[in-house]
Amino acid sequence: MKISKAVQHFPLYFIFLILFQSNVTAQSLGFTIDCGDAEIGSVYCAPVRVFGFNKMISAQLSFNWDETVLSYKELQNQNLDHLDGSYFPLSSSELALSWVDFGYVGIDKPDSTVIFEICYDVIGNLGDTSNIVIQPPSNSGVMEISNLDGIIPNADINFVYNECPSTVVMSVATSEAKESLFQMFPNPTTKYIQITSEIKFSTIEISDNNGKTILKKDFETVTNVSQFQTGWYLVKLSNDKETAIQKLFIIKEE
């Protein structure tokens, strides 16, 4: 899928849908990545926050993403002792972190502290999606995090996100100028949407707020959406030259 020159003149936004689950306590370790917007062609820096970061002495893990959508640029706003030299790209889609508190005193951080920001060049096309996933580093296959009491079991580490099952999801929305390429009503809706446009679109695609495609078919002016749950969705229309997206809110009838 390509962006036409006309599309490139309009800002395109990545919507990061992520909130830390409320059941994380001071006794469990958690990581989150903040919400944010970024235009294609710009730099986006994703803040990484910690919860339950008490008496920590080491961490070995990695951050992974879609290299066709995001290109790693740098780590900035470092707020963790001895972080210099402890991170390095393993590939164009993975950044490894191998951090150690060389003072062996145990590092404490208040909940919601940003320990660093991962900065990316946003290189994706209109309609692309990417996930940022915390995983074991590919060069070792082991994710290990320790505090002064010993190694923390992976089961006690929370990489759980509200709205997202296990990943940070980014999905592309559009400027008002691109939204005006078609009209969609009713919105909100309970049963169906009707679409009018002067452009001849060939495909309609609906994705949920996790970026997962839940419907894709040949374009029709009327589409039944009564099978979907209450919530926000993205409706994408496309042909060989144009792509346009609008937000849709569906109310599930009881």
154 lies in the same domain as 204: no
Q: Which helix (H) or strand (E) holds 193?
A: strand 192-196
Among the three residues 119, 153, 172, which one is the final residue of a domain in this structure?
172
Lowest mean pLDDT among 29-33, 140-144, 164-168, 223-227: 164-168
Q: CA-based Rg of the chain, rounded to a whole angstrom?
A: 21
190 lies in the same domain as 107: no
**Residue 124 and residue 68 in contact, taking contact as beta carbons nearer than 8 Å:** yes
For residue 195, the cross-strand partners are 184
Range picked from 188-197, 228-237, 238-247 for highest mean pLDDT: 188-197
Report if residue 18 sits inside a domain. Answer: yes
Report if residue 152 sits inside a domain. Answer: yes
Report if residue 1 sits inside a domain. Answer: no
For 23-84, the DSSP string reads T--TTSEEEEE-----BTTSEEEEEEEEESEEEEEEEEEEEE--TTTEEEEEEES--STT-T
Strands 29-33 and 157-158: parallel
166 lies in the same domain as 236: no
Euclidean distance between CA atoms 35 and 210, whole angstroms? 13
- Both tokens of 1, joined, read 């899928």
Among the three residues 112, 143, 172, which one is the final residue of a domain in this structure?
172
- The structural domain count of the chain equals 2
Residues in contact with 192: Cβ distance below 8 Å, sequence separation at least 6, in sequence order: 222, 223, 224, 225, 226
Domain that holds residue 59: 10-172
Q: For residue 90, what pLDDT band results from cuts at 50, 70 and 90?
A: very high
Residue 77's pLDDT is what? 93
Report if residue 5 sits inside a domain. Answer: no
193 lies in the same domain as 109: no
Q: For 23-62, how does the pLDDT look when each residue is reduced to its tens digit (9 = 90+)?
A: 333 346 777 776 555 666 778 888 888 888 999 999 999 9
Q: For 202-225, how does the pLDDT look when each residue is reduced to its tens digit (9 = 90+)?
A: 999 998 876 788 999 999 999 999
Integer CA distances (angstroms), 139 to 61, 62, 72, 95, 142, in order: 10, 10, 18, 11, 9
Task: Kindly report the CATH number assigned to the domain that includes residue 196.
Answer: 2.60.40.3080
Q: For residue 94, what pLDDT band results from cuts at 50, 70 and 90?
A: very high
AA identity, residue 94: E
Among the three residues 118, 138, 172, which one is the final residue of a domain in this structure?
172
Would you give the distance in Å from CA 195 to the centre of its chain?
Answer: 28
* Cα–Cα nearest to 12, from 174, 179, 234: 174
Residue 38's pLDDT is what? 61
Lowest mean pLDDT among 29-38, 72-81, 222-231: 29-38
132 lies in the same domain as 202: no
152 lies in the same domain as 179: no
Residues in contact with 24: Cβ distance below 8 Å, sequence separation at least 6, in sequence order: 30, 51, 52, 158, 160
128 lies in the same domain as 158: yes
211 lies in the same domain as 103: no
